[in-house]
Amino acid sequence: MKKYWIWTILITAVLCAAGWMYWRAKSPTADGVVYKPFRVRRGDIEMTVRATGGVEPQNRVEIKPPIGGRIEDMRVREGDVVRKGDIVAWMSSTERAALLDAARIKGPEEVARWAQMYKPAPLVAPIDGMIIARKVEPGQSVTSADAVLVMSDRLIVKAQVDETDIGSVKVRQEATIVLDAYPQQSIDGIVDHIAYEAETVNNVTIYSVDVLPDEIPAFMRSGMTANVTFVIDRREDALWVPAEAVHETNGEKWVMRADSAGSPESDREKPHVPVETGLSDGKRTEILSGLAEGDKILVGGLRMPDSRSPAPSNPFSPFGQRRPRS
């Protein structure tokens, strides 16, 4: 009986040790973090602020007739570019239109005589720009309150920037515009104006920011929805590491260096390398000093369960190891 109990204790101890080693191998670390090696590299880092907005005319001008009457001729269409002072339409006053209509009863000669005596009035473009809307057609009666044509000197994007980000946006700052209608086309722009008065949209305080495209593409239209990315700062060919690799303790920043095999060392042997950081975009962090290109460090992260691999099972279970269902 004594030998039986000795062998029982020994077998139990061996099984416990094997079980502990099995679970230790399956566990990333004691705190649930798995470390992966990463070599310090160079690349561009760009810190940005994103906002949504819409395409609008920078200066929208409606051309209205000075008197009531009838449009006789429209000389422009939507999309036409005109110069200030160009004649865009001809119209007859109410009296001239009535005289011409009455003269048509007597024949074309009578119409020509009255048309020569009473000239039509021109409508001229008040600014240089593009015709973005044609409201009436020839033969249509209008009043002095009706807009015959709508002009724009140029199209801009009016972005809505949250008050938490507005401090990072400056006039003359670079920006990139992407229209929802053309997501593959990127348009370079620049910040032209930042509103001085805030607006509240859905209980969020926002500021309106005017962004001027460097070149207005032919497919850009007023009313389109746009996504604007403001470039706050940029570093080219910067030394960088993943942002999660940088730790901070008592105001000092550091990273963990990997051993020569590229595997994490024990907690006691992990050297903490002090570093000085620069720009960070949330994914990449610039390293100013403390590391060199090619240095191998450790990047920690939580291990996600793999649905393709079987879940770990209890080695002492009488049912044995679990197998994935086929």
Whose structure tokens read 């907005």? Answer: 53
Domain that holds residue 195: 49-56+154-232
**Hey, CA dihedral for 228, 233, 237, 243, is it positive or negative?**
negative
- Average pLDDT in the chain: 84
pTM of the model: 0.61
Beta-bridge partners for 60: 152
pLDDT digit string (tens) for 29-88? 445 567 788 999 999 998 899 999 999 998 899 999 999 999 999 999 998 999 999 999
Q: Of the ranges 167-171, 199-203, 247-251, which is most confident?
A: 167-171
What pLDDT is stored for residue 210 in this prediction? Answer: 96
Residues 129 and 81 both lie in one domain: yes
What pLDDT is stored for residue 80 in this prediction? Answer: 92
Q: What DSSP designation does 32 have?
A: S
**Measured distance CA(178)–CA(186) in Å, rounded:** 5
109: three-class secondary structure by DSSP: helix
Domain assignment present for 173: yes
Higher-pLDDT residue of 300, 80: 80
User: Above 70 in pLDDT, residue 306?
Assistant: no
245: three-class secondary structure by DSSP: helix
Element (H, E) at 182: strand 182-194
Confidence label for 324 from pLDDT (cuts 50, 70 and 90): very low
What pLDDT is stored for residue 316 in this prediction? Answer: 45
Domain assignment present for 172: yes
**Measured distance CA(315)–CA(311) in Å, rounded:** 12
What pLDDT is stored for residue 251 in this prediction? Answer: 87
**Pick from 145, 150, 146, 142: which is nearest to 61 by CA?**
150
Domain assignment present for 282: no
Residues 96 and 162 both lie in one domain: no
Domain assignment present for 178: yes
Residues 164 and 140 both lie in one domain: no
Domain assignment present for 306: no
**Measured distance CA(220)–CA(218) in Å, rounded:** 6
Query: Among 116, 150, 184, where does a domain finish?
Result: 150
What pLDDT is stored for residue 52 in this prediction? Answer: 94
Confidence label for 4 from pLDDT (cuts 50, 70 and 90): low
| Tokens standing for residue 324 | 């994935």
Domain assignment present for 216: yes
What pLDDT is stored for residue 126 in this prediction? Answer: 94
Residues 131 and 96 both lie in one domain: yes
Query: How many domains is the chain built from?
Result: 2
Higher-pLDDT residue of 258, 32: 258
**Hey, CA dihedral for 239, 242, 245, 246, is it positive or negative?**
positive
Query: Among 200, 232, 264, where does a domain finish?
Result: 232
Q: What does 116-166 look like in DSSP terms, one character per residue?
A: HHSPPEEEE-SSSEEEEEE---TT-EE-TTS--EEEES-EEEEEEEETTTG
What pLDDT is stored for residue 90 in this prediction? Answer: 96
Q: What is the CATH number of the domain that holds 137?
A: 2.40.50.100
| Tokens standing for residue 105 | 């009863």
**Pick from 232, 176, 235, 242: which is nearest to 45 by CA?**
235
**Pick from 69, 77, 58, 75: which is nearest to 124 by CA?**
75
User: Above 50 in pLDDT, residue 317?
Assistant: no
Query: Among 173, 200, 232, where does a domain finish?
Result: 232
pLDDT digit string (tens) for 93-118? 999 999 999 999 998 999 999 988 99
**Measured distance CA(158)–CA(52) in Å, rounded:** 8
Residues 81 and 128 both lie in one domain: yes
What pLDDT is stored for residue 34 in this prediction? Answer: 76
Domain assignment present for 214: yes
Angle between helices 94-103 and 108-117 (to 10 degrees): 160
Provide mean pLDDT across the span 249-269: 67
Confidence label for 261 from pLDDT (cuts 50, 70 and 90): very low
